[in-house]
Amino acid sequence: MKQLIISKIDELSTLCIGFLFCALLLTMRIKVTGSFFYLFLAWNLFLAFIPYSITLLVQSKKNWHHNTWILLPIFGVWLLFLPNTPYLITDLQHLRHTSQNIVWYDAMLLFSFAAYGLFIMTLTIQDMKRILSKKIASKWFPFVLISIFILCGFGIYLGRFLRWNSWDILQNPMALFEDIVMRIRHPFTYSQTWIVTFGYACIIGLFYHAIKISNLSKD
């Protein structure tokens, strides 16, 4: 683990700086307004870190990389929590509750958390890509990535519009399954589902590739 942390020192430093900046913005907002309304951002950010923590753990366990029976359930859990990272984009909708005199500050606050969540998403996807590179041929990765982006977009829809969360796959799996199947069987009836899904999938994909091209995240 120590060697891994050393190899990721620049990445982790950037994450720490981003976290401190977001925390500072939120703290100042609470102090100035006396309102704890945006405190939910701290919880959403905690959820966003779960996928990154999973890939960090797997990278520290080299013996796991060659064991499919270990990687498969880990990948499933990782994929289940991954939509929590770009989900922070949807918190921008809370600007409608903001008074005009501080809307500029809340816009900066919400955008900072959203951008930070997308950055975490990019890092953890790149990490998972490295982990799976020993199991999946490189020619299949574009399809894997597109599938991940679409699943994230669908996860955002389930969370924001239907108010499901990652834990509900254990707490209420049948109701969640019924909601998913209904929207797959009747795509035109639930057109909003697919507009949201593919819209966010495109945003996520564009951000991911923008970060990759700029070499902020390495293959």
pLDDT tens for each residue of 119-142: 999 999 999 998 888 888 888 999
In a domain, 177, yes or no: yes
CA-to-CA distance for 219 and 217, rounded, in angstroms? Answer: 7
In a domain, 219, yes or no: no
pTM, two decimals, is 0.89
In a domain, 218, yes or no: no
Q: Which two tokens stand for residue 179?
A: 């909601």
Give the domain range for residue 115. Answer: 2-213
Domain count, the chain: 1
CA-to-CA distance for 184 and 162, rounded, in angstroms? Answer: 15
Backbone angles phi, psi at 45, to 5 degrees: -70, -35
In a domain, 41, yes or no: yes
CA-to-CA distance for 206 and 208, rounded, in angstroms? Answer: 5
In a domain, 28, yes or no: yes
> Of all residues in the chain, what percent are helix, strand and coil, respectively (each to 5)?
85, 0, 15
Q: Which two tokens stand for residue 46?
A: 């905690």
Reported confidence tier of residue 2, pLDDT bands at 50, 70, 90: confident
